[in-house]
Amino acid sequence: MEPQAVAGLAEIEPGAELPPLHDIEEDLEKMRRDRERLGAVNLRAEEELREVETQHTGLVTERDDLVEAIKRLRQGIQSLNKEARERLLTSFEVVNNHFKRLFVELFGGGEAALHLIESDDPLEAGLEIIAKPPGKKPQTLSLLSGGEQALTAMALIFAVFLTNPSPICVLDEVDAPLDDHNVERYCNLLHEMTGSTDTRFIIITHNPITMARMNRLFGVTMAERGVSQLVSVSLSEAVDILDQNVA
């Protein structure tokens, strides 16, 4: 290579004084050390950069999609909660009205009401029953006597069934704490419920007054030790047979 060409590569102006050889050698050595410190050159660096950028773009897109999905989900939850609150309050009002009427019917007077407590949000609120039997002051359910608690619970159960009837209702000895007068009221309400709903009531009882008001009785006896026998009696058929015999 011609000296002029070398000078051009070294960016030395024509006619300029050349730097000392010692300085040139030092610069060259410094450049060599710098090159060695760089280590191995990754010839795929540019391609790998493109791959990483593509991956980053995909992750950003996925993140944006996820954020949007979370936003839509929260909006859906808010909409469902709003509808649930509206339905709950509507049903609560209907149940409460039935409960007030049935309480008066079972107790022969007094008054009672359901209250949502402990939270302004109906979905998180608790339920409290304030009852005032005839001749008594208003009080919570836990302060009532056993019979009063049973009648109040019946009023609530039947209020729920009047609001949203189900095919079957099983009542297990709910008349046990009641005196004969209140058992009659309980049976009257059962008769009313069978006429106003399509619910079939299965009553477990040892009370003869309740038994006498049922359409059909099922009993379990033990004729032999260790052997149970199911007995069924239709009271309506028994009454018909009795009337025929009397006639």
Chain segment 102-151, per-residue pLDDT in tens: 999 999 999 999 999 988 898 899 999 999 999 999 999 999 999 999 99
The whole-chain average pLDDT of the chain stands at 87
Strands 200-204 and 216-224 come out as unpaired
Q: How many domains does the chain have?
A: 1
Question: Does pLDDT of 20 surpass 90?
Answer: no
List Cβ neighbours of 204 (8 Å cut-off, separation of 6 or more).
Answer: 170, 171, 172, 173
Residue type, 82: K
Is residue 147, in this structure, part of any structural domain at all?
yes
CATH classification of the domain holding 112: 3.40.50.300
List Cβ neighbours of 241 (8 Å cut-off, separation of 6 or more).
Answer: none
Q: How far apart are CA 89 and CA 123, in angstroms?
A: 9
Is residue 231, in this structure, part of any structural domain at all?
no
User: Residue 100 corresponds to which tokens in the numbers above?
Assistant: 């007030």
Is residue 105, in this structure, part of any structural domain at all?
yes
Is residue 190, in this structure, part of any structural domain at all?
no
Quote the domain boundaries for residue 112: 84-164
At 62-81, the pLDDT tens digits run 999 999 999 999 999 999 99
List Cβ neighbours of 123 (8 Å cut-off, separation of 6 or more).
Answer: 81, 84, 85, 88
Is residue 225, in this structure, part of any structural domain at all?
no
> Which H or E run contains 218?
strand 216-224
Is residue 200, in this structure, part of any structural domain at all?
no
Is residue 127, in this structure, part of any structural domain at all?
yes
Is residue 150, in this structure, part of any structural domain at all?
yes
Single pTM value for the model = 0.68
Q: How far apart are CA 210 and CA 175, in angstroms?
A: 8
Question: Contact, 106 vs 186, CB < 8 A?
Answer: yes
